[in-house]
Structure 1
């Protein structure tokens, strides 16, 4: 016999709707459990958010336990217009330091003799000396120059004698020029009164290059010898007055400066390459050439009263440069005093604790004189840490307040997510109590937050800076006391707050109260999942049983109807036959 799956087709009773209603009514426990699970999830989310805020608070507290920033210092000079600069390191003693500098440090110097190069000509005859090849400190430029109002035009291909002739021609023979190889100077001689050199529209530097300047007389001579050593010409062809002989057959020689050997080759090296070699060495000196005086100098790279020691064989390069015949000009040490104390000595113009003994204080002076350095706490770094703590603390407190409050509006009571969690409310009170309490046992003038101008906002558990001036004064003038208040190990403010927060939020070494709460909620939700699954299995079984029963009823009803139809037909047939 075929079964009928259509609900009520035979019986006329919609049993499927009946089953759905029955199962829905029986599902009420699942709905209650799901509601409980939803509340648990909301609590879990709220606690996770609180845990994040606690982590931020922990970080701000850890920053307070590091006392480094509380010992940061600033140094300020009393004079705004000064060539001095000052700096103070971590932990420098706070106070004012009167600095009086009576002598600046200078570097030792060894100056060679002047006029180390031969003159511009070996004889007084300069007809073969062209302007372009004269070994001068400043090369001559082509153009015009003026003598007694007469303009002379020159070209670089002209010889020096050509220029003398042009001067004589332009001035009608009243001014003549001559070169003296003995003095390596040019002399202009006038026969008609004082010589006047130059004009505003001159285009050649001939007069300045030959060191000729007005003196109000009829005779003008070069102010100094003219010849200069060409720095890029190889040494054996540079025209040194004193020849270099202390070299081997290939031109190799050497010398020492402060015990450091410097080598050279007269056939390949120039004065420029040798000086560069000296400057790049570890000898600790700088070599330079002054074309105006035709002289090489060595100067220590560091200041202070210290020597320069040179050595070479007779006939070497240093001798040719006039350095071995010179005496070292000893440098000077800086001389100064602090707070009218005894005279102190520094080899450099940057005086540090190495000479004055004040840890962390450094002063660079650019002139003699007196100034005052004021060392105070670096409030910026300290303020940043304190403000970060207050912000994190208030974020935790305001969140707990928001999540635990119960409000009533027009008789309608609304409870926040964590309103039934008394433990969460107690965390807020613990934090407030520990923040408010004093710190015992400190050798400090600050034992409470209010000593820093910090207190609770009235009617709340949140902190605020009520007196910025009090905080600034403490950070500026008593940073050590502030550091002791916040950072003292085990008993300081930060340590006490940290202990409470660590219990709530946990650490890398163990779980806190929040973790335990979250674990309980997770376990509870897992248990609810299991209960819902068990109830659902029962409901599924109940649906199957009810469905099977009603199908059986429908089938039985169908069988009864079929039998009745057959009987009716049978009776009807019998009746017709009779």
Structure 2
């Protein structure tokens, strides 16, 4: 970095002089920077326009879905409907009634016996296989404290201690559902049965499930069996009544589930079943110590179980109780004819309506299926708003304010005006060969205003909601055709092509002639309605196979054998108004569309300006360096002259003094 000092010899402000000399040469850079700012504003405006056009495209895409426009709703006759229901676009409006005699239920296979070892009455309590560890201490019955030592006492010891305690109860064991439970009975009819006290130090009453158990007459019975299988340890250690002898494969409904008793716990096996495709939910009922398999689907469908080992036997499934599920039974004609379904969700009772039964009825229940215009109106309103957003933006950016003499950022941009004109033309033009009774958006209440509207009031789309709802109620399918009709392709002459599906692109009327050589080579030729050949292409197809590239937009399916027969496909052009608009937006918003092209052009211009600025700046820097050198040389020369003058002056003074 160089250091300069202003006019030490000359007294001139050289930096100011240099700055003013460079101002003229700075002018081109200033003009380029201003041009750069203008281009950046245009680029940002186009980016904003692209976003609004994309939002418009998204808004109209919903209206190209039949389910949005052709909507129905199921209206029950009261707030206590015996079903939930939804209606699709294929529903038929009308009044219906349904009587539900029976709901569908799922098949269950319940283990035929408890699977864990029963209680050992003579073993010490800590080793007797209780559900949970039993602690020593005291527990109370009718206010009498009874001691228990888990390490020394057996269950029979405790029973004897209760019966001799004077508590006024008789303790005994009973068998419920194949397993032992503890029972307490008042010693006298109507005698007290107060079980437990706040000061108890042993958990005996809770482990035996007596604490909180209900009194029935003079008896209280534990609510659960005293024992239960251990679910989280390997099966070999799970205290099963029937030990699993070795590894094997459990097969449920044809789905194999492997097991290894030395590794797998009961919880692991149940989770493995539930994660499989066996179609059942496996669970462990800890109250009764049994395995339960429940079908994931309803209806009278059996559950089958087999095993290469003895796990199925150990889990009680071989001797299990199979309870077949019920089928749903319902009637649409007041009970004259009954229909049956394995599921409570029925899709074929009423066309286009899905019903899920929630309760039975003793008599027919009335309901209606009627058009639902709300979703369609909301979608149209969103489309109109987005369309007007685009128009407002274009109007703002292309306007000229005469008062301030300020032009909008995109004023004079013909491409923007073309977009605006095209959008207006497309939404006011009629649909092409659309079925139904509507030809233009104005027919259903979407227009730029009525004929004769005051100037300045027809710049944006307007929605007559009442007119739109009336059209949707009268003929929703015709409204959808007005919006989203697409060209139809029909296989009028089958040959080596057996089926055709899709929408041809472009959507012009005419016919495709598909020639075949019988060896899989095809040639497609398109003729317009005047029978002029406009297009042809070649491709291949296998017998019974498909081709979706030969004719854009169509999938061709070949016959099972190829004979060389020619096929003909007739195309009838149909295009809804929004179909045309959607195709236009796809074009200008696509990868090689106008919006992206303009954005790329702006970026290219900005790069070019930056390069010009860099060149001008380099020249300016070089000029500044040159001026600095020149003024430095001037200062040096003046300093030398001043020094010489001072020296001469000194010599003259000496001479005069002499």
TM over 0.5: yes
The equivalent of 2:307 in structure 1 is: 312
Alignment match, 1:389: 387
Residue 447 of structure 1 is matched in structure 2 by 439
SS of residue matched to 1:71: helix
Q: For residue 486 of structure 1, what is the aligned residue in structure 2?
A: 483
- Equivalent runs, 1:156-305 vs 2, <5 Å: 156-157=150-151, 158-168=153-163, 170-171=165-166, 174-179=168-173, 184-188=180-184, 191-199=187-195, 201-202=197-198, 206-207=204-205, 209-210=207-208, 212=210, 213-217=214-218, 226-232=226-232, 234-236=234-236, 238-242=238-242, 247=245, 251-305=246-300
Compute the displacement of 1:329 (Å).
1.4
Q: Give me the whole-angstrom Cα distance separating, in 2, the residues matched to 1:455 and 1:419.
A: 26
Query: How many Å separate the matches in 1 of 2:224 and 2:583?
Result: 83
CA spacing shift, 1:51–1:168, aligned 2, 3 Å: closer
Deviation per CA, 1:60-95, whole angstroms, max 9, x where unpaired? 379647753453247566465679544455x44363
Are residues 1:462 and 2:453 paired? no
* 1:290 to partner: Cα distance: 1.6
Taking a change above 3 Å as real, the CA distance of residues 136 and 196 of structure 1, as seen in their structure-2 partners, is farther
Inter-CA distance 110–398: structure 2 relative to 1 (3 Å threshold): same
2:322 maps to 328
1:153/1:357 Cα in 2 relative to 1: closer, same or farther (>3 Å)?
same
Work out which structure has the larger RCO, using CA pairs closer than 8 Å and 6 or more positions apart in sequence: 1
Q: Equivalent residue for 2:64?
A: 68
Q: Secondary structure at the match of 1:177?
A: strand
Q: Which runs of 5+ in 1 are unaligned?
A: 1-37, 523-578
Query: In structure 2, do the counterparts of structure 1 residues 144 and 494 end up closer, same or farther at CA, with 3 Å as the change threshold?
Result: same
The structure-2 alpha-carbon separation of the partners of 1:497 and 1:398, relative to structure 1 and needing over 3 Å to count, comes to farther
Q: What are the residue-to-residue correspondences of 1:97-108 with 2, within 5 Å?
A: 100-108=99-107
Q: Which whole-Å CA distance do the structure 2 matches of 1:234 and 1:501 have between them? A: 65
Equivalenced residue count is 455
1:451 is paired with a residue of what secondary structure? helix
The answer to whether the 8 Å contact 1:234/1:267 transfers is yes
Q: Is the 8 A contact 2:63 2:380 kept in 1?
A: no
Q: Deviations over 1:114-146 (max 9, x none)?
A: 33444312xxxx45331x444345665666544
Q: Deviations over 1:546-570 (max 9, x none)?
A: xxxxxxxxxxxxxxxxxxxxxxxxx
Determine if the alignment matches structure 1 residue 119 to structure 2 residue 111: no
Correspondent of 2:129 among 125, 129, 135: 135
RMSD (CA atoms): 5.3
In the alignment, is residue 367 of structure 1 matched against residue 359 of structure 2? Answer: yes
Instruction: Identify, as 1 or 2, the structure richer in helix.
Output: 1
Question: Which consecutive residues of structure 2, in runs of 5 or more, have no partner in the other structure?
Answer: 1-33, 487-573, 606-658
Query: What SS does the aligned partner of 2:478 have?
Result: helix
Displacement after TM superposition at 1:299 (Å): 1.9
Q: Distance in 1 between matches of 2:592 and 2:222?
A: 88
CA distance in 1, matches of 2:183, 2:61: 82
| SS of residue paired to 2:298 | coil
Counterpart in the other structure of 1:150: 144
Q: State how far apart, in whole Å, the 2-side matches of 1:510 and 1:190 are.
A: 92
- Report what 2:468 is aligned to: 471
Aligned to 2:530: none
The alpha-carbon distance between structure 1 residues 163 and 485, as it changes in their structure 2 partners (threshold 3 A), is same
Secondary structure class of the residue paired with 1:108:
strand
Report the Cα offset of residue 159 of structure 1. Answer: 3.5
Q: Tell me the CA shift for residue 331 of structure 1.
A: 1.7
Separation (CA, whole Å) in 2 of partners of 1:277 and 1:421: 67
Distance 1:277 1:50 in 2: 58
Aligned ranges 1:412-423 → 2 under 5 Å? none
- In the alignment, which residue of structure 2 is the partner of 1:526? none
Distance in 2 separating the partners of 1:262 and 1:426 = 68
Q: What secondary structure sits across from 1:328 in the alignment?
A: strand
For 2:608, the equivalent position in structure 1 comes to: none
Residue 459 of structure 1 deviates from its aligned partner by 1.4
SS of the residue 2:64 aligns to? helix
1:112, distance to aligned residue in structure 2 (A)? 1.5
Cross-structure match for 2:343: 348
Q: Contact between 1:65 and 1:486, CA under 8 Å: does it hold in 2?
A: no
Q: Distance in 2 between matches of 1:134 and 1:262?
A: 32
8 A Cα contact 1:115 1:227, kept in partner:
no
- Asked if the contact 1:290/1:296 (under 8 Å) is kept, the reply is yes
Given the two structures, how large is their TM-score scaled by the length of structure 2? 0.54
Cα distance in 2 between the residues matched to 1:398 and 1:499: 26
Change in 2 beyond 3 A, CA 1:492/1:151: same
Higher strand share: 2
- In structure 1, the residue matched to 2:651 is none
CA distance 1:46–1:332, shift in 2 (3 Å): same
Give the aligned partner of residue 565 of structure 1.
none
Structure-2 separation of matches of 1:466 and 1:285:
54
**Aligned in 2, Cα 1:147/1:456: closer, same or farther, shift over 3 Å?**
same
Q: How far apart are the structure 1 equivalents of 2:263 and 2:307? A: 20
SS in 2 for 1:463: coil
Are the aligned partners of 2:249 and 2:307 in contact in 1 as well (CA < 8 Å)? yes
Q: Distance in 2 between matches of 1:430 and 1:180?
A: 89
